[in-house]
A and B are shown apart, each in its own frame.
Chain A
Amino acid sequence: MSDGRTEIERPLSPHLQVYRPMLTMMMSMAHRVSGVALAVGFALFAWWLIAVSAGPEAYAKVAAFWSSLPGQVLLFLFTWALIHHLLGGIRHLIWDTLHALDKPTIERLAWATIIGSTNLNLLLWIVGVWMRGSL
């Protein structure tokens, strides 16, 4: 049967577009999307650390970006992704112990993750701004 091809055309199961969007499916995607976003954010974090290690001039340039409006928005999204992925990860760790796997609990955990990450991020920024005394 082999025709020497390395890639076999296997039948594919129906994909995303045929399913009604469901909360749990969205949460799975959000976990992956936030994970990739954080990997990119990790490189931005490296850029910031390198600037600090390079000296005051390099730091001033990078700090100016992070203090600007786009920089602040990016940072806000970065901490949101961090908290969302963190809460989603805790959910996965709970599932790894074979707990909380019934449908109602999964739905509840999904909402807890969304509401939790959004509110925690807002709260942290409010506290952060308050501790620094200004934006």
Chain B
Amino acid sequence: MRTPLSQARGLGAAHKGPETFWRQRVTAVANIPLVLFLIFSILLHIGSDYATVKAYLAHPIVAVLMLGLVLSVTVHARIGVKEIVEDYIQSDAIRMPVMLLSSFFVIGAGLACAIAIVKISLGA
């Protein structure tokens, strides 16, 4: 027998809502290999000279992985930070600006990373 529950399950009354939950999981899964790649990249290049680091980041595979990491982390961090702000800041007057600023901060960092990676890989 079909019940209304099958409609509600996973979708909610508005037929949307779990996207944020789902997006957090998708980016979490993507982050697993990408973060391992980042840790590997960091540990290999502490104290490396400019030419070495630039050549490494300019490699197409490295650039693709770095851009993927930046995209996934930007989405993931924005959702996570927003959730914490929503949980702990009670006053509307403070929560709204903090939420906006934290979003701008994470997206700004993501854009800065992206433009740097593109610039390095195009050799400009």
Q: Which residues of A approach B to under 8 Å, CB–CB? A: 6-7, 32, 35-36, 38-39, 42-43, 45-47, 49-50, 52-53, 56, 59-60, 63, 66-67, 72, 75, 78-79, 82-83, 86, 89-90, 92-93, 96, 124-125, 127-128, 131-132, 134-135
Of chain B, the residue at the smallest CB distance from A128 is B43
Partner of A36, one of B32, B43, B84: B84
Q: Which residues of B contact A38 (CB under 8 A)?
A: 77
A-B contact pairs, 19 of them (CB 8 A): A35-B80, A35-B81, A42-B73, A42-B113, A43-B112, A45-B113, A53-B117, A59-B50, A60-B50, A79-B43, A86-B31, A86-B35, A93-B29, A96-B25, A124-B43, A127-B43, A128-B43, A128-B46, A132-B47
| Contact of A36 with B81 at beta-carbon distance under 8 Å, contacts A60-B50, A89-B31 already known | yes
Q: Is the interface of A mostly helix, strand, loop or mixed?
A: helix
Contacting pair A128 B47 (CB below 8 A): no
The answer to whether B50 and A56 touch across the interface, beta carbons within 8 angstroms, is yes
* With A82-B39, A128-B43 as contacts: A46 and B109 at CB distance below 8 Å: yes
**B119 smallest CB distance to A (angstroms):** 4
Q: How far is the CB of A124 from chain B (nearest CB, A)?
A: 6
Contact among B77, B91, B106, B116 for A50, CB-based, below 8 A: B116
**B54 touches A (CB below 8 Å):** yes
Contacts of A7 in B (CB 8 A): 91-92
What is the minimal beta-carbon distance from B2 to any residue of chain A, in angstroms? 24
